[in-house]
Amino acid sequence: MSRILITSALPYINGIKHLGNLAGSMLPADVFARFQRARGHEVLYICATDEHGTPAELAAAKAGQDVRTYCDEQHLIQKNAGDAFGLSYDWFGRSSSPENRQLTQAFCEALDKNGLIEERVDKMVYSIDDGRFLPDRYVEGTCPHCGYDKARGDQCDNCGRLLDPTDLINPYSAVSGSRNLEVRDTRHLYLLQTKVEPQLRAWIAGKSEWPQLALSIANKHLEEGLIDRGITRDLKWGVPVTKDGKPRPGFEDKVFYVWFDAPIEYIGSTKEYFTSQGNPDGWQKWWRLDQGADDVRYVEFMGKDNVAFHTVSFPATILGSGEPWKMVDTLKAFNWLNWYGGKFSTSMNRGVFMDQALDILPADYWRWYLIANAPESSDSSFTWEQFQATINKDLADVLGNFVNRILKFTESKFDGVVPEGGEAGPLEEKLYADVSALLVEAAEAFEAMEMRKAAQAVRRIWVLGNEYLQEAAPWTAFKTDTVRASVIVRHGLNLVRLYAVLAQPIIPFAAQSIADCVGVQLPLAWPSDDAKAELTKLVAGTQVQSGEVLFKKIDDDMVAEWTTRFGGSET
């Protein structure tokens, strides 16, 4: 048994997240966590709300709340949304926690002692109309590298370059739209990333097995050349800046940059979890190499826009501290899930957000679609038509149809009991071989975090069951050879059990409903590669029963209604 630490990108506090956010980090991380638990590994799946920075301040002001109250409410909303989607976090923490505050300040002090923190008088954009310095992402303008006219002051979403606000052409305030800006002097702390560049290069060079998307982004930023990054901001809401345990002189009205403290919250959230369990030092065995974390496998999941910070800035913090921290082993990055080729937008009525999704369909419909169409090799676009086709074909016609047919037949012909008698024949031997091969394929895909391939392999095993049932035709055999019919039905019911086990990582709620039909309780261990052994686990005499329809089909009227409500090809 291995120990596996899993983190997904922290959802920002202001507002419920859309399907693209779910598909790009939280959901695949959950699928991987569930799979590894089923394999018998000790898994710790950690996430948290990212609560600091200007967006939280502005959102709280708009809501007429103080920022702490606003974050308290939004954290609960996001936690509940995650629970409703079946995200099996071991802990869903908060970057505003005391644990993260202490760790962030400790990291800065360690970096400072190692000569990697420098005070600089910086020139930052000040909005005269807003009466405030504008943090990086609240200055927008034209990218000097690619000409994209909506680049942010920290990064261009079009070409991926990391930027400073003063780099932008024709800048304006994203708060008010005002172009009445000027550059003023302000003192800030800088992390001297350039001094740890050799260590960063060596570390990334050792990650040749990373998925290509993450590796290409990491190398791109190294090739462009690292720059020293400011790690403090002129804000009130955030982690206070300290030195030797006291407020740092001249920085009393400043806080750490959200991108400095947010990744540290992976550690902070782990500390929150173990503190809640009455074991305040337990987090160290997951994060400190000198406390036993050297045997931990650490995997991060995130969208491609977060990769630069997790392959450059956060590793620079860890390496620069000079302390024995556990660093990520594998970074699984995803491209973007778009909405009909455009971005999700609440103001433009474009796209479905997590709370809205659950208003119209159960979580498993969304989970299956998003994993089966995960944006791994390139950006992908959600369309209602593709969603309808995926759900109807995969879940209703293949999985749901098989489970319903075999259970209904068992109830009508075998009194709802797994029948006994008879020996496996050529059709069953072929089934064993075909299923065994696909079980290997599915496990390898899950292990490699290749979500689309994993879903495809699982679906192909579902298809095998339908093909077996169609060819074996128990309804015909029953008329002349009840023993042969018993063999077919017994294998069909064992396929139902197997399908429940295979469905656990991707569609956990439906998996339990399927398991209930054949009298088993999940979670169950991931199946072995020996299909013959897996298809003989339900013993004769076991009571089974059909339940409600597992997956209702999505009809054209529903698609038309949702297109009008949420936007689509006609908007």
Annotated binding residues for Zn(2+): 143, 146, 156, 159
Q: Nearest-CA neighbor of 91 among 282, 276, 260, 261?
A: 276
- Are residues 461 and 438 in contact, defined by beta-carbon separation less than 8 angstroms? yes
Phi and psi at 200, nearest 5°, equal: -60, -45
DSSP letter assigned to residue 378: S
**How far lies 519's CA from each of 120, 417, 547, in Å?**
67, 11, 12
How far is Cα 561 from Cα 571, in angstroms, rounded to an integer? 13
Nearest 5 degrees, angle CA 76-CA 81-CA 83? 95
Q: Provide φ and ψ at 404, rounded to 5°.
A: -65, -45
Among 94, 110, 79, which Cα is nearest to 49's? 94
Binding-site residue numbers for ATP are: 346
Residues 6+ apart with CB under 8 A from 276: 91
- Name the 3-class secondary structure at 47: strand
Here the tokens at position 462 are: 């579902």
Q: Is residue 218 packed enough to be buried (19+ CB in 10 Å), middle (13-18) or exposed (0-12)?
A: buried
- Could you give the C-alpha distances from 295 to 37, 38, 311, 327, 458, in angstroms and in order? 17, 20, 21, 12, 30
Q: Hey, what are 312's tokens? A: 């450059």
Closest residue by Cα to residue 458 from 389, 515, 527: 527
Binding residues: 143, 146, 156, 159, 346
Query: Cα separation of 449 and 441, whole Å?
Result: 12
- Spatial separation of the C-alpha atoms in residues 544 and 414, rounded to whole Å: 10
191 phi and psi angles, rounded to 5 deg: -90, 120
Q: How far apart are CA 205 and CA 252, in angstroms?
A: 40
Nearest alpha-carbon partner for 221 in 316, 136, 117, 151: 316
Hey, is 4 helix, strand or coil?
strand
Instruction: Enter the tokens of residue 571.
Output: 């908007």
